[in-house]
Structure 1
Amino acid sequence: MTGTTPSTADVARRVGVTPATLKRWVSGGVVPLGDAGWTQGMIAHARIVARLRERGHPLAEIRQATDDGRLAFGYAEDLLRVDEPDYTLAEAAKETGLEPALIERIGSSLGFSVSWTAQITEDDVQMLRYSAAALAAGLPLVAFLQMCRVYGQALAQVADAEVRLFHLYVHEPLMREGIPGLQMAEEMEGLTRQLLPLASPLMDHLHQRFLHHFVEQDVIGHMESDLSETQLDLGRLRVAIAFADLAGYTRLTEEQGEEEAVGAVERFVEAVEHTLPEDARVIKTIGDEVMVVGSDPAALVDWAVGFQSLMTERPLPRIGVHYGETLYRDGDYYGREVNLAARVAARSAGGEVIVTRPLVDAAGPHLEFERIGEVRLKGFTDPTELFLASLIDE
């Protein structure tokens, strides 16, 4: 069907309705059909209508949404290459040399739905060829599947953000201006046509730049590692972990509203990202809490104390830092020491940095540590020695 305009029957099959239903939508103005026939954008619009009908929305409501331009973003799909499914799972396995079960594992690791193997496209097969080449080059399967999960989660977040931000800052303003639906679709398609080709080069550049940075940091980390420390099991890393959040964030939300509270969190996270030492990075944020991991414990406790000295606006951050052995999986860190770091942070107050004994031993002479004592943290049987970290007064 490449290079030809699909028939109404073809479109109906792809949308999942009967040709009679599709014709009724077109004649009723629910699905606009131009003189050039069915484009990918119009097919995307028909799919949206079908989903809305499945959810019980009446045709009159959908027609009004079409006229108002609320469904106009569906036309952007005209710019996205979407191949027809050409391969069965068995055919894809034969083409790539991968076992069917492994293809299913790769898809689930990437975050595809369980039904993806029933609609494998040529692009999917090319992706599987790359996967087979990576495994043939010697990359262990356990590492490859973890990379698939990281790629899938990261790029799903990127795509989700692209769509939502475009909706919030382009689509919504056009609707508020009262621009007719078809005109709005044309304007949005024009803008998307200009922006879409920029996304892949931008992400490729960022990937190369960050890859260079982390390769360098990994080499330095190996060179500076303490050779006297016991060798770690495969899949484990010894790192410094910091948890930081805003003391009184819930109260701020109640007193000043969600917009002001979210603004405070955005400023806080941005300040963390812009001040971290080179070997450290934000692993994740959950609400107002930030998890930071670095390979240099001295540098991370330096950052925590220095960061607190910069913070003057309430609510003030509270920070806990610990150093220990973690389990590394899918770009994240797990295990007892991570949980311990979180509990240490929970014991601190706004403006404070509380650390454990390994941080005291690693820190430089410009810091001082007030011993709090042996504290039994929630969820841990043995007490943990805690210290309040600060700069030495000159």
Structure 2
Amino acid sequence: MNENGLVSTREAAEMVGVTPATLRRWAKTGVIPEHSGAETKWAPAAVAHARIVARLRERGHPLEEIRRAGAEGRLAYGFVEELFSPDGMPQVSFEDAAKQVGLEPALVERIWSTVGFAPRRPESLTEDDVQALHYIAAVLDAGFPLVAFIQLIRVYGQAISQIADAETRLFHLYVHEPLIRQGVPGLQMAEEMEHLASDLLPLSSPLMDYLHQRFLREFVERDVVGHMEGELEEAIDLGRVRVAVAFADLAGYTRFTEEAGEEEALDVVEAFIDAVTDTLPEDARIIKTIGDEVMIVGQDPAALVDWAVGFQRLWGERPTPRIGIHYGLSLYRDGDYFGRDVNLAARVVARARGGEVLVTDSVTHSIPDDDDHLAFENIGQVKLKGFDEPRTLCRAAPAE
């Protein structure tokens, strides 16, 4: 590669994974318009286009279809990937990389697959990959427990892959698709998208670093307060935490979708999740959403019940929410909460009707006696699906 980023046909073929003859044939037939087929050097944009062609050929697409898609601009987004390519080709064997950073190959393989990279054990790594492994080795050398690090790196991989997926899809929907509909020529479209992406990419890392630091400070403060206010004398198994778990969903959402249509139903779900996010107490947060259902975890059961009751009065749209809350020990793993008490909270919300807040007896027992702004109506012992013993449930409402 020279100082202008140009590579020879042989080098380009190696980067794409095809023979030089195949690469020249693609160029001469117009499948790679950035290259005439007679030139001896390949620009980064031409190599990026050739990579896309190679992937599409592997999936069985004929060359004429690929050429037409390129002319229409449907492949233009692929050129943006050149901005993210690591420097150089993979050149360090997997075993040598592990030896360089002082980690066992089996551990490196475990970390690699935990992050979500494929294949789980590549034959060779790039210098960027090796540098990342140096960072990982430094974290472990500093004394951070391996069992905790494996969970943390999995959360990193899941969260950042979700961010990358959202960035890709939103860029495609709101930048690439409008350009296609405007009839912008393929090469011009590729240049416009690459210029925009090159302007935005340097801003993403500092923005994510700022958000990470901001949220990290907030959660450290919460953890300190939680230790001060929690039952410190209680012996709890390592990896388990006592939390209030709430599930909230929209009663009759499936029928509403059939009546109103998918787009209007999705608008309601988005408004519902936004409303939950905007109104939660300080120590509570959304753990995940599945369709119209939201899972919430907080340290203070009284605050979570207070929120739930107030939220039911705040929400005035159809379909109406239903909320179930339980307080107990949960197994914390990979940024999520698991175990019997989480399952119990999910079963509680399934017994609620639209507009109701149902809580277990463990919630009512944890609320101070002098809390006089909430009222609880005992609805008796209720058999919950999957549980052998019935559970006492109460309907929560504002005190009159």
Fold similarity call, TM over 0.5: yes
Is 1:326 the equivalent of 2:333? no
Displacement, 1:36?
9.7
Equivalent residue letter for 2:147: V
Is 1:276 the equivalent of 2:274? no
Contact 2:77 2:193 in 1 (8 A): yes
Displacement, 1:39?
3.2
Alignment-derived partner of residue 230 in structure 2: 225
TM-score (norm 2): 0.95
Equivalent residue letter for 1:50: A
Contact 1:41 1:77 in 2 (8 A): no
Is 1:16 the equivalent of 2:21? no
Is 1:289 the equivalent of 2:296? no
Partner SS for 1:11:
helix
Alignment-derived partner of residue 186 in structure 2: 181
Contact 1:149 1:330 in 2 (8 A): yes
Runs of 4+ in 1 over 6 A off after TM superposition: none
The correspondence for 1:390, drawn from 370, 389, 397, is 397
Is 1:74 the equivalent of 2:75? no
Distance, in Å, in 2 between the alignment partners of 1:77 and 1:32 is 18
Distance, in Å, in 2 between the alignment partners of 1:131 and 1:330 is 17
Contact 2:98 2:104 in 1 (8 A): yes
Alignment-derived partner of residue 368 in structure 1: 375
Contact 1:40 1:77 in 2 (8 A): no
Question: Per-residue CA shift, 1:225-251, capped at 9, x if unaligned?
Answer: 0245x3111111110000001111101
Alignment-derived partner of residue 7 in structure 1: 8
Partner SS for 1:242:
strand
Is 1:124 the equivalent of 2:125? no
Is 1:91 the equivalent of 2:96? yes
Is 1:55 the equivalent of 2:59? yes
Q: After the TM superposition, which of the residue ranges 253-262 and 210-219 deviates more from structure 2?
A: 253-262
Report the RMSD for the aligned CA atoms in angstroms. Answer: 1.4
The correspondence for 1:304, drawn from 301, 308, 317, is 308
Partner SS for 1:117:
coil
TM-score (norm 1): 0.97
Partner SS for 1:139:
coil
Contact 2:76 2:190 in 1 (8 A): yes
The correspondence for 2:250, drawn from 246, 251, 258, is 246
Distance, in Å, in 1 between the alignment partners of 2:279 and 2:335 is 22
Distance, in Å, in 2 between the alignment partners of 1:39 and 1:163 is 24
Displacement, 1:116?
4.9
Provide the aligned length of Structure 1 versus Structure 2: 392
Give the fraction of aligned pairs with identical amino acids, expressed as a percent.
64
Contact 1:41 1:74 in 2 (8 A): no
Question: Per-residue CA shift, 1:161-213, capped at 9, x if unaligned?
Answer: 10100000000000000000000011111111111111000000000000000
Unpaired runs of 5+ in structure 2? none
Equivalent residue letter for 2:388: T
Unpaired runs of 5+ in structure 1? none
Is 1:164 the equivalent of 2:166? no
